[in-house]
Chains A and B, each alone.
Chain A
Amino acid sequence: MLSAKTLVACVAIVGNVFDTAGAAPFVPQSPNEIVVELTPPTGSEWDEIHLLRAELAAEPSASAIAARLAHSYLELFRVEGDPRLIGYAAAALSQWTLDGTAPPAVALELIAIEQLEHRFDTAMRALEDFLARHASDAQAWLMRASISLARGQYPESTSACTRLVFTAGAETAGACLAAVQAVTGQARQAREFLAAAFARGDYAADAAFESWVRTLAAETAVALALPSDADVEFRTALSAARRDGGRPTLYLVSAYADFLLDSGRNADVLTFLTDAPPSDATLLRAATARKRLGLVVDDEIRTLSQHLELTLSGYEQTHAREAAYFLLRVLDAPTDALALAARNFAMQREPLDARLVLEAAVAICDGAAALPVLDWMQINAVEHATLVRLRDSLRDCR
Chain B
Amino acid sequence: MKRALLFGCLATVACAAHAHESSLAYLVLDVDGPRVAGHWDVAVRDLEDALRIDANGDYRITWGEIEAGRPRVLDYAHERIHLVADGRDCATSFANDSLDRHGSTTFAVVRVEATCDRPISSLEVDYRPLLDVDATHRVLLEVSAADWTTTSVLSSRVPHETFAMRDQSRLQSLRHFIVEGVVHIWHGYDHLAFLGLLLLPAVLRRSSARSPDRPAAVVWRIARIVTAFTVAHSVTLCLSALGFIDLPSAPVEAAIAASIVVAGLLSLLPRAAALGTPLAFGFGLVHGLGFASALGGLGASGRLVSLAGFNIGVELGQLAVVAAALPFLFAVRRIDFVVYRRRRGLPPSTTGGG
Residues of A within 8 A of B (CB): 14, 17-18, 20-22, 24-28, 30-40, 42-43, 80-84, 86-88, 90-91, 94, 117, 273-275, 277-280, 282-283, 286-287, 290, 299-300, 302-307, 309-310, 313, 315-316
The answer, yes or no, to whether B147 is at the interface (CB within 8 Å) is: no
**In the bound complex, do residue A38 and residue B20 qualify as a contact, i.e. CB atoms below 8 Å apart?**
no
Of B63, B132, B136, which one neighbours A31 at CB under 8 angstroms?
B63
Q: Nearest Cβ distance between residue B149 and chain A, in whole angstroms?
A: 8
Residues of B within 8 A of A (CB): 1-2, 5-6, 9-10, 13-24, 26, 28, 39, 41, 44-45, 48-49, 54, 59-64, 66-67, 97-106, 109, 131-138, 140, 142, 151, 153, 156
**In the bound complex, do residue A283 and residue B26 qualify as a contact, i.e. CB atoms below 8 Å apart?**
no
Total residue contacts A-B, CB cutoff 8 A = 185
**In the bound complex, do residue A91 and residue B101 qualify as a contact, i.e. CB atoms below 8 Å apart?**
no
Tell me the complex Cα distance, A290–B2, Å.
Answer: 24
Q: Nearest Cβ distance between residue B208 and chain A, in whole angstroms?
A: 67
Q: Nearest Cβ distance between residue B144 and chain A, in whole angstroms?
A: 9
**In the bound complex, do residue A31 and residue B64 qualify as a contact, i.e. CB atoms below 8 Å apart?**
yes
Of A24, A273, A307, which one neighbours B22 at CB under 8 angstroms?
A307
**In the bound complex, do residue B102 and residue A17 qualify as a contact, i.e. CB atoms below 8 Å apart?**
yes
A83/B22 contact (C-beta < 8 A), A21-B39, A22-B28, A38-B45 known: yes
Q: Nearest Cβ distance between residue B190 and chain A, in whole angstroms?
A: 36
Tell me the complex Cα distance, A280–B20, Å.
Answer: 7
A36/B153 contact (C-beta < 8 A), A24-B101, A274-B9 known: no
- Residue contacts A-B, CB under 8 angstroms, 25 given: A17-B26, A17-B102, A18-B26, A18-B142, A21-B28, A21-B39, A21-B41, A27-B63, A33-B62, A34-B61, A36-B44, A36-B45, A36-B48, A36-B60, A38-B48, A42-B1, A83-B136, A84-B23, A84-B134, A87-B136, A90-B156, A302-B104, A306-B105, A307-B22, A310-B24
Q: Which residues of B contact A27 (CB under 8 A)?
A: 63, 97-99
Q: Nearest Cβ distance between residue A37 and chain B, in whole angstroms?
A: 5
Q: Nearest Cβ distance between residue A242 and chain B, in whole angstroms?
A: 13
CB nearest neighbor in B for A14: B103
Q: Which residues of A contact B59 (CB under 8 A)?
A: 37-40
**In the bound complex, do residue A84 and residue B104 qualify as a contact, i.e. CB atoms below 8 Å apart?**
no
**In the bound complex, do residue B49 and residue A316 qualify as a contact, i.e. CB atoms below 8 Å apart?**
no
Q: Which residues of B contact A34 (CB under 8 A)?
A: 60-62
**In the bound complex, do residue B99 and residue A117 qualify as a contact, i.e. CB atoms below 8 Å apart?**
no
**In the bound complex, do residue A35 and residue B20 qualify as a contact, i.e. CB atoms below 8 Å apart?**
no
Ordered nearest first, which 5 A-B pairs have the shortest CB separation? A306-B103, A31-B64, A87-B134, A90-B135, A87-B136
Tell me the complex Cα distance, A39–B59, Å.
Answer: 7
**In the bound complex, do residue B6 and residue A275 qualify as a contact, i.e. CB atoms below 8 Å apart?**
yes
Q: Nearest Cβ distance between residue B297 and chain A, in whole angstroms?
A: 33
Tell me the complex Cα distance, A283–B132, Å.
Answer: 29
Q: Which residues of A contact B10 (CB under 8 A)?
A: 274
Tell me the complex Cα distance, A32–B64, Å.
Answer: 6
Q: Nearest Cβ distance between residue A15 and chain B, in whole angstroms?
A: 9
Q: Which residues of A contact B133 (CB under 8 A)?
A: 87-88, 91
**In the bound complex, do residue B136 and residue A28 qualify as a contact, i.e. CB atoms below 8 Å apart?**
no
Of B19, B64, B131, which one neighbours A280 at CB under 8 angstroms?
B19
Q: Nearest Cβ distance between residue B41 and chain A, in whole angstroms?
A: 6
Q: Which residues of A contact B134 (CB under 8 A)?
A: 84, 87-88, 90-91
**In the bound complex, do residue A35 and residue B14 qualify as a contact, i.e. CB atoms below 8 Å apart?**
no
**In the bound complex, do residue A303 and residue B17 qualify as a contact, i.e. CB atoms below 8 Å apart?**
yes
Q: Nearest Cβ distance between residue B19 and chain A, in whole angstroms?
A: 4
Q: Which residues of B contact A25 (CB under 8 A)?
A: 98-100, 109
Q: Which residues of A contact B98 (CB under 8 A)?
A: 25-27
**In the bound complex, do residue A38 and residue B21 qualify as a contact, i.e. CB atoms below 8 Å apart?**
no
Q: Nearest Cβ distance between residue B113 and chain A, in whole angstroms?
A: 14
Q: Nearest Cβ distance between residue B47 and chain A, in whole angstroms?
A: 9
**In the bound complex, do residue A273 and residue B16 qualify as a contact, i.e. CB atoms below 8 Å apart?**
yes
Q: Nearest Cβ distance between residue A314 and chain B, in whole angstroms?
A: 10
Tell me the complex Cα distance, A347–B204, Å.
Answer: 86
Q: Which residues of B contact A88 (CB under 8 A)?
A: 133-134
Q: Which residues of B contact A94 (CB under 8 A)?
A: 132, 135
**In the bound complex, do residue B20 and residue A24 qualify as a contact, i.e. CB atoms below 8 Å apart?**
no
Tell me the complex Cα distance, A22–B26, Å.
Answer: 10
Tell me the complex Cα distance, A390–B241, Å.
Answer: 73
Q: Which residues of A contact B19 (CB under 8 A)?
A: 81, 278-280, 282-283, 303-304, 307
CB nearest neighbor in A for B102: A306
Q: Which residues of B contact A36 (CB under 8 A)?
A: 44-45, 48, 60-61, 106
**In the bound complex, do residue A303 and residue B18 qualify as a contact, i.e. CB atoms below 8 Å apart?**
yes
With A21-B28, A26-B98, A84-B20 given, name 10 new contacts (CB 8 A): A21-B26, A26-B99, A35-B61, A37-B61, A43-B2, A274-B9, A278-B15, A280-B21, A306-B105, A310-B140
**In the bound complex, do residue A42 and residue B6 qualify as a contact, i.e. CB atoms below 8 Å apart?**
no
